[in-house]
Amino acid sequence: GENVEQHPSTLSVQEGDSAVIKCTYSDSASNYFPWYKQELGKRPQLIIDIRSNVGEKKDQRIAVTLNKTAKHFSLHITETQPEDSAVYFCAASWNTGFQKLVFGTGTRLLVSP
């Protein structure tokens, strides 16, 4: 089955710096790669996703890149703000009408003012 590894487990940056979180997946059949943000005590919420036919996707300060050959994908957050502090999860799945998301182990991002 699919296995997703995520690094780093914690990441501390200064406000305004960039943050990068990396994930690798094992199943080459996976074709959908979402990123979820979970604030303390809250539910995970989708912030950006990418499908396997796209190499990069950007939405304002966040971007995701995918390297299918190497089976890894990354989340990039630019101009970080204190409200970006949260746990970020990557996930992988293949969508055949329904999904089985396999999540990474999470990255706790702390943005200091």
Partner 1 sequence: DTAVSQTPKYLVTQMGNDKSIKCEQNLGHDTMYWYKQDSKKFLKIMFSYNNKELIINETVPNRFSPKSPDKAHLNLHINSLELGDSAVYFCASSQANKDEQFFGPGTRLTVL
Residue 101 makes contact with partner 1 by CB under 8 A = yes
Residue 49 makes contact with partner 1 by CB under 8 A = yes
Q: Considering CB under 8 A, how many residues would be counted as binding partner 1? A: 22
Residue 110 makes contact with partner 1 by CB under 8 A = no
List the Cα angle 44/55/22 in 5-degree steps.
50
Residue 94 makes contact with partner 1 by CB under 8 A = no
Please tell me whether residue 57 adopts helix, strand or coil conformation. Answer: strand
Stretch that binds partner 1, among 17-25, 30-38, 59-67, 72-80 (CB under 8 A): 30-38
CA distance 72 to 107: 16
- Mention every residue, 6+ apart, whose C-beta is less than 8 A from residue 52: 30, 31, 32, 33, 66, 68
Which residues of the shown chain bind partner 1 in the complex (CB under 8 A)?
Answer: 32, 34, 38, 42-46, 49, 51, 87, 89, 95, 97-103, 105-106
